[in-house]
Amino acid sequence: MSLKLSCREKNMADLLIRKMVEGDRRDVAELICVSTNYWYEQHGLERIFTGPEKAKVFYQVYGRMEGSVGIVAELRGRLVGSCFYHVRETHVSLGIMNAHPNYFGQGVARGLLEYIIKIAEGLGKPIRLVSSALNLDSFSLYTRAGFVPRCAYQDIALTVPEEGIADWAGGVRTASLADVEGMAAIELEVSGISRAGDYRYFIDNLDGFWHVSVSEGKNGELSGFLVSSGGMLGPGVARTEGEAVALLLAELDRLRGRKVVFLVPVECADLVQRVYGWGGRNCELHFAQVRGAYRETAGVSLPTFMPETG
């Protein structure tokens, strides 16, 4: 008996998933730019990228970070999808995933996701990600694969005044490599995850656009940290909302005159109101989703999109 395959099934059978190589750098940047901008424009929103050059930073960053891997999907010789994932001590993180608009709904993203799920299952680790609450196709992709939304975040856009923000801040200093152990300990305490290689990478700042601030408790131990990368804040954690405020103000003060985007947990009501008072406005919503073991956050988590944090 013959079996007729649907177009989608035929495409899935022909889909090749492989690791990125240096020769993919330009094509991946163009794919990220085209795919992301297309989705936002189709939903009446502004473009994210002004051109492929802006999207090359993903390959650059993930290519340098310990434990990071980029994969691509090819269909009959054409690059139609890409994704980055990151193997950390406690979990696997899933980063930005894209499929070319001409191949939306044809199983490209599903193929990439299934590849990463097999990697995580082989390592016996949960997978974490941060994804847009506005993209229901993406939301459905992840929840169908067993991911559970655990935290909701307000995306805050804020243009920092040239004179800075007139608000109290204190107990914050610039991080050094000597802080890596303390950063790992405080994130494990607050979020139940650890990624020491990431902290070293941020502090080393080989890319020239990272900065890390840390806050200290009464006994001198670290009680939080926050990373910034130009116009984006995160990742970071803090024991309390007050410490999160101090860390945010410290990094925002370094970005005077710049438009900055960062995530704030929706349940942190005092922190949200403080951010509104600085002139912050909501521009999107995101969910932190987990496939596998999860522990409730015991403090304030300030994730980001690149590198992914979950």
For 236-287, how does the pLDDT look when each residue is reduced to its tens digit (9 = 90+)? 999 999 999 999 999 999 999 999 999 999 999 999 999 999 999 999 999 9
Strand, helix or coil at 243? Answer: helix
Task: List the strands of the sheet with 210-216, edge to edge.
Answer: 172-174, 210-216, 222-229, 233-238, 300-302
**How buried is residue 296: exposed, middle or buried, by Cβ count under 10 Å (0-12/13-18/19+)?**
exposed
CATH code, domain with 201: 3.40.630.90
Same domain, 186 and 274: yes
Can you read off the two tokens belonging to residue 152? Answer: 């909701």
207: Cβ–Cβ under 8 A, 6 or more apart, which residues?
57, 60, 61, 64
CATH code, domain with 31: 3.40.630.30
Pairing of strands 222-229, 92-99: unpaired
Same domain, 102 and 195: no
Pick the more confident residue, 47 or 119. 119
* pLDDT over 70 (residue 168): no
Same domain, 171 and 119: no
- Within a domain: 44: yes
| Amino acid present at 65 | M
Q: Are 141 and 113 in contact (CB under 8 A)?
A: yes
Q: Which residues, listed in sequence order, are joined to residue 70 by a DSSP beta bridge?
A: 84
- pLDDT (0 to 100) of residue 11: 57
pLDDT category at 174 given cuts 50, 70, 90 is: very high
Same domain, 180 and 225: yes
**Which residue spans within the chain are E strands per DSSP?**
15-19, 68-75, 78-87, 92-99, 127-132, 148-159, 172-174, 210-216, 222-229, 233-238, 259-265, 281-291, 300-302
- Within a domain: 134: no
Domain span including residue 108: 7-125
Can you read off the two tokens belonging to residue 199? Answer: 């902290």
Same domain, 92 and 193: no
- Within a domain: 278: yes
Cβ neighbour number for residue 15 with a 10 Å cutoff:
21
Q: Are 179 and 222 in contact (CB under 8 A)?
A: yes
Same domain, 103 and 22: yes
pTM above 0.75, yes or no: yes
| Amino acid present at 215 | S
- Report the share of the chain in percent with pLDDT over 90: 68
Domain count, the chain: 2
- pLDDT (0 to 100) of residue 59: 83
Nearest to 280 by CA among 249, 242, 239: 249
